[in-house]
Chain A
Amino acid sequence: DTEVTQTPKHLVMGMTNKKSLKCEQHMGHRAMYWYKQKAKKPPELMFVYSYEKLSINESVPSRFSPECPNSSLLNLHLHALQPEDSALYLCASSQLETGSNEKLFFGSGTQLSVL
Chain B
Amino acid sequence: DAKTTQPTSMDCAEGRAANLPCNHSTISGNEYVYWYRQIHSQGPQYIIHGLKNNETNEMASLIITEDRKSSTLILPHATLRDTAVYYCIALGRASGSRLTFGEGTQLTVNP
A, B from the same assembly = no
Q: List the interface of chain B (C-beta within 8 A of A).
A: none
| A residues whose Cβ falls under 8 Å from a Cβ of B | none
